[in-house]
Amino acid sequence: MNLANKLTMFRVVIVPFFVFFMSAEFVPLRFLWALLLFALASITDMFDGKVARKYNMVTDFGKFLDPLADKILVAAALICFVELGWTSAWVVFVILAREFLVSGIRLVAASSEKKVVIPANIWGKLKTAVTMVAIVVILILAVLMSDFGLLTGFPARIVSDVLMYLSALLTVISGVVYCYDSREFIDPSK
């Protein structure tokens, strides 16, 4: 396994620890720990692709695992957010439904006669970046408000909703573009 794929695998390994801190009410500064882990995972997301391209380490496994690692990380954060009442379940449903749809199309393309591995497009990358930034901002608010008792009275839920609605909108747009671009693999007549 090359360095780029190891960075991606590391991102997957971080997820259970992130979920632990999000859920462990008994841990002091739990949201700070969760934020640090999420930020570390997000940074590895930036570097694994750069390393793969710069050192010619791009593999089909990496093309498959990188977006999957993103989905696992983001899904974990969003599910924790719903449990904590920080976002609406319908927003998370929209985001996760798109992820399942895209993963399904990727599986069909990979198992087709052409054996196509479909990498993330610019809309998918933008959606992922905006969603990760939204999650980081929401976690920063949680750290400031819950861990440190600052920003009392700040409308954190409104900020969270706006960020998550923007993420959901980009999710829908990227999903539509992805379906259109991959229409040859989702033709019901085949």
- Domain segments of the chain: what residues? 3-184
Asked whether residue 94 carries a pLDDT value surpassing 80, the answer given is yes
CB 69 within 8 A of CB 27: no
pLDDT score, position 190? 64
- Mean of all residue pLDDT scores within the chain: 90
pLDDT of residue 107: 83
Which residue did the predictor score with more confidence, 124 or 80?
Answer: 80
The Cα 58–Cα 178 span in angstroms is 21
Angle, alpha carbons 21-23-29 (nearest 5°): 45
Stretch 19-24: mean pLDDT: 98
> What was the pLDDT predicted at 140?
96
Q: Which of 66-70, 149-153, 163-167 has maximum average pLDDT?
A: 163-167
Check pLDDT > 70 for residue 127. yes
Name the CATH superfamily housing domain 3-184.
CDP-alcohol phosphotransferase transmembrane (TM) domain (1.20.120.1760)
Whether 62 and 48 have beta carbons less than 8 Å apart is answered as yes
**Residues 3-20: pLDDT tens digits?**
888 999 999 999 999 999
Confidence of residue 113 (pLDDT cuts 50, 70, 90): confident
pTM over 0.85: yes
- Among 100, 95, 120, smallest CA distance to 172 is for 95
Give burial (CB, 10 Å; 0-12/13-18/19+) of 7: buried
Name, in order, each residue with C-beta under 8 angstroms of 68's C-beta and a sequence gap of 6 or more: 12, 103
